[in-house]
Amino acid sequence: MPVSDNHDTIFAPATAAGRAGVAVIRVSGPDARHCIECLAGSCPAPRYMSLRRLKFASDSDETIDQALVVFFEARSSYTGESMAEFHVHGGRATLARVLEALSGIPGLRMAAPGEFTRRALINGKLDLTQAEGLADLIDAETESQRRQALALTEGRFSSQIASWRGRLIDGLALIEAAIEFGDEVDISDEDLAAVRSNISEIGRELKLILEASAFSKKVREGFEVALVGPPNVGKSSLINMLAEKESAIVSPIAGTTRDVLRIPVDINGLYVTFLDMAGLRDTSDEIEKIGVERALLSAEAADIRILMSSADTRAEADLVKCRDNDIRVWAKCDNGVGPGDINLSTVTGDGVAQLLDMIFTTLSRRAAGSGYAAHKRQLDGLRNAVDELEAALNTNDEEVCAAHAKYAIRALEGIVDPVGAEDVLDEVFARFCIGK
Ligand SMILES: Nc1nc2c(ncn2[C@@H]2O[C@H](COP(=O)(O)OP(=O)(O)O)[C@@H](O)[C@H]2O)c(=O)[nH]1
Ligand SMILES: [Mg+2]
């Protein structure tokens, strides 16, 4: 997409396509007021909603709809440009006709995906981490995703970066003064030592965010919980119960499940994907063998494994090694209880709530200190800054130290404002939908 040309006026539906009570169409650019005048006759006072009869064009007798119309002046709009909003009835035909009317106005064009937000960014209404947060907010399906995205959108990460940047600039000023005017101004060794310890403290804080980011990333993308056990232990029955539908084939024939099946479940606001897979056993069936290999790989990569056993199945010992976060489940406890963290039955429903609770507790324990930086781009920037800060501390040469501190500052700045990096912006805004 080309850099937004602020002489263009763009429009797009802001609400999802399909049948709905109301559909909102947004317009941004210098002709926003003119659009309202063309379709609604006159422009209402800024930020006041007004009920208007929309005409197909200023000289047309055709009424398209009764709609609420709002005008925003450039300084107080989402994009930082003049904006108009038409809240029309949400039928496909109405929406299509209003869009047709708008495209008939000279100088107007349909917006590209994310173009409204891209204009907001160019006009300084938000920075790139906030824009990334907005895209996440629109995609958020669970509570934890929503909270994390909102923190990013509200600029929590940006202000954190601004504070690191400010502290580094203060330190850098002192080092540079020592280099330039060491003979004239009185900068003690203690002052320089304090700058170094400040740099090291900032490096530590950055690393904490990076450590927490593994969790933030999982909140954004989802955790994986693998159901592991011998054939017929009841893995597919359990996943169907969790999914509240028949997703996996359940049968008394061992070796039925072969592909890895992924079922998303919302556990108290955490986005968790359960993996059902082939039962682990030695088998001579070539296809089942591939299923078992895939199962072992998926189990290895999962955040938590539910290791299942039951009275009527024989575990093939040592196929998976037990890990810290594994949960051991004794299945089919309606036939009698057994060893394990939880006794569970998909027939009576016993133990299922307890299992979900345990998964939630285990995952939220890892949430301690979780942050909001979850995008690869943001994390790469933090890593670069950490490397530069470490290099700054690893030298006794003040000039080299100052140079690395400067690179660290630049790496941090690049996270919120990648100046001139159009490809980075293209990538971020490609994730947006049209109309945002
Ligand atoms: N009694 C009892 N039978 C179960 C339970 N869960 C599953 N089964 C039965 O065990 C057999 C294997 O179940 P399935 O879910 O396909 O096991 P998988 O091979 O581990 O996926 C089926 O006949 C199920 O009806 C349970 O909790 N109690
Ligand atoms: Mg199965």
pLDDT tens per residue across span 170-182: 999 999 988 888 7
Domain boundaries in the chain? 9-125, 137-219+375-416, 228-365
For residue 253, what pLDDT is reported? 77
Length of the chain: 436
Task: Report the separation in Å between the CA atom of 257 and the middle of ligand 2, taken as the mean of its atom positions.
Answer: 4
d(CA 360, CA 173): 47
- 239 in ligand 1 pocket by Cβ < 6 Å? no
For residue 250, what pLDDT is reported? 79
Query: Is residue 369 predicted with pLDDT exceeding 60?
Result: no
- 291 in ligand 1 pocket by Cβ < 6 Å? no
SS3 123: coil
d(CA 192, CA 392): 13
SS3 389: helix
pLDDT band at 413 (very low <50, low <70, confident <90, very high): very high
- Cα 105 to chain center, whole Å? 37
CATH H-level superfamily of 228-365: P-loop containing nucleotide triphosphate hydrolases (3.40.50.300)
Quick one: average pLDDT of 428-435? 83
Sign of CA dihedral 414, 418, 419, 421: positive
For residue 116, what pLDDT is reported? 96
Mutation test of ligand 1: which of 246, 249, 250 has the most ligand atoms closer than 8 Å to its C-beta? 250
- 349 alpha carbon, closest ligand: 1
d(CA 98, CA 52): 13
Both structure tokens of 280: 């682990």
Exposure letters 250-276 (e unless 16+ CB within 10 A, then b): beeeebbbbebbebebebeebbbbbbb
Instruction: Name the residue type at position 100.
Output: E
- 350 alpha carbon, closest ligand: 1
Question: Please, what is the average pLDDT of the chain?
Answer: 89
Quick one: average pLDDT of 77-95? 96
**Which residues contact residue 74 at a Cβ distance below 8 angstroms, ignoring those fewer than 6 apart?**
80, 81, 82
What is the fold of 137-219+375-416? Four Helix Bundle (Hemerythrin (Met), subunit A) (1.20.120)
Quick one: average pLDDT of 47-61? 93
pLDDT band at 166 (very low <50, low <70, confident <90, very high): very high
Query: Is residue 317 predicted with pLDDT exceeding 70?
Result: no
pLDDT tens per residue across span 421-431: 888 888 888 88
For residue 183, what pLDDT is reported? 74
pLDDT band at 367 (very low <50, low <70, confident <90, very high): low
Quick one: average pLDDT of 297-318? 85
Mutation test of ligand 1: which of 237, 249, 337 has the most ligand atoms closer than 8 Å to its C-beta? 237
For residue 368, what pLDDT is reported? 52
Instruction: Name the residue type at position 149.
Output: A
- 279 in ligand 1 pocket by Cβ < 6 Å? yes
Q: What H or E segment, with its residue span, contains residue 168?
A: helix 156-181
pLDDT band at 363 (very low <50, low <70, confident <90, very high): confident
Mutation test of ligand 1: which of 228, 232, 343 has the most ligand atoms closer than 8 Å to its C-beta? 232
DSSP symbol at 334: G
For residue 366, what pLDDT is reported? 67
- 403 in ligand 1 pocket by Cβ < 6 Å? no
Query: Is residue 2 predicted with pLDDT exceeding 60?
Result: no
pLDDT band at 282 (very low <50, low <70, confident <90, very high): confident
Closest CA to 81 of 69, 90, 72, 94: 72
Sign of CA dihedral 260, 355, 347, 265: negative
Query: Is residue 188 predicted with pLDDT exceeding 50?
Result: yes
**Which residues contact residue 403 at a Cβ distance below 8 angstroms, ignoring those fewer than 6 apart?**
none
Taking CA atoms, 236 is separated from 109, 270, 419, in Å, by: 51, 22, 51
Taking CA atoms, 417 is separated from 73, 118, 308, 412, in Å, by: 25, 12, 49, 9
Give the angle 288-293-297 at the CA atoms, nearest 5°.
145
d(CA 108, CA 125): 23
Quick one: average pLDDT of 397-414? 95
d(CA 183, CA 335): 86
Q: Ligand 1, residue 344: give the atom nearest the CA.
A: 27
Query: Is residue 399 predicted with pLDDT exceeding 50?
Result: yes
Specify the CATH class of 9-125 in words: alpha beta
Q: Ligand 1, residue 233: give the atom nearest the CA.
A: 20
Both structure tokens of 171: 């330190």
